[in-house]
Chain A
Amino acid sequence: DAGVIQSPRHEVTEMGQEVTLRCKPISGHNSLFWYRQTMMRGLELLIYFNNNVPIDDSGMPEDRFSAKMPNASFSTLKIQPSEPRDSAVYFCASSLARQGRAGELFFGEGSRLTVL
């Protein structure tokens, strides 16, 4: 299995530009999570989806952030406009939940975003 695939691995952009991060979960998984990691704040859950439906987006910092999951094999996290404080590593993770029991998370390698 290819695991969770994220792109791009690295992105450097200027303040005010739009940033789109992409994630392909493990085939057959039905839950998808977006996290952000910084030295100051650690790993923060931004949003998670079950069966392509956003369940909890309370961790999304502000309206500049949006996430979509148009199908079971693809999700995007968009920042528009980007700001220097958005610089972080963004992780996508997927899991399989069955019979009311939530499974372990499998993480991608992350997308390192630098906003100048």
Chain B
Amino acid sequence: DAKTTQPNSMESNEEEPVHLPCNHSTISGTDYIHWYRQLPSQGPEYVIHGLTSNVNNRMASLAIAEDRKSSTLILHRATLRDAAVYYCILRDDKIIFGKGTRLHILP
């Protein structure tokens, strides 16, 4: 079973920031938090990951709570191409995907 909890779906307007939440209350001290997304008819693609500190890359930012029991993926300026299913997972030896959050972007 997936060890993370995410909302089933979210909506956002184009060119606005999007905050995708994830709860992982059973996280262990060595689990990395990974985010992937799956565009329609494609395989999942890596977005970002972190352990304790907030992380930024060209695709997104990851904000991790101080107790590490939750995190938020931030898309700073959503475009129509960001419409996808976003998965938050805890990375140990194997990666178990939950159902993710389906993000809809409204033009």
Interface residues of A (CB under 8 A from B): 33, 35, 42-45, 48, 50, 55-56, 91, 93, 101-102, 104-110
Per-residue CB contact flags for chain B residues 37-71 toward chain A (1 = under 8 Å, else 0) read 00000111110010000000000000000000000
Is the pair B97, A42 in contact by a Cβ cutoff of 8 Å? yes
Residues in B whose Cβ lies below 8 Å from that of A105 = 34, 36, 44, 46, 95
Q: How many interface residues does chain B have, given as a range?
A: 20 to 34
Enumerate 21 A-B pairs (CB-CB under 8 Å) in ascending A order: A42-B100, A45-B94, A45-B95, A48-B93, A48-B94, A55-B93, A55-B94, A56-B93, A56-B94, A93-B43, A93-B44, A101-B32, A102-B92, A104-B46, A104-B49, A105-B34, A105-B36, A107-B43, A107-B45, A108-B43, A110-B43
Interface residues of B (CB under 8 A from A): 32, 34, 36, 42-46, 49, 87, 91-100
Cα A48 to Cα B93 in complex, Å, equals 9
Is the pair A33, B34 in contact by a Cβ cutoff of 8 Å? no
For the complex formed, measure the closest distance between the CB of A83 and the CB atoms of chain B, giving whole angstroms.
24
Cα A45 to Cα B87 in complex, Å, equals 14
Is the pair B44, A43 in contact by a Cβ cutoff of 8 Å? yes
Cα A106 to Cα B87 in complex, Å, equals 14
A contact face: mostly helix, strand, loop, or mixed: strand
Selected from A50, A102, A109, the residue in CB contact (under 8 A) with B32 is A102
Once A102-B32, A102-B91, A104-B34 are accepted as A-B contacts, the answer to whether A45 and B96 lie under 8 Å apart by CB is yes
Residues in B whose Cβ lies below 8 Å from that of A91 = 43-44
For the complex formed, measure the closest distance between the CB of A57 and the CB atoms of chain B, giving whole angstroms.
11
Cα A109 to Cα B98 in complex, Å, equals 20
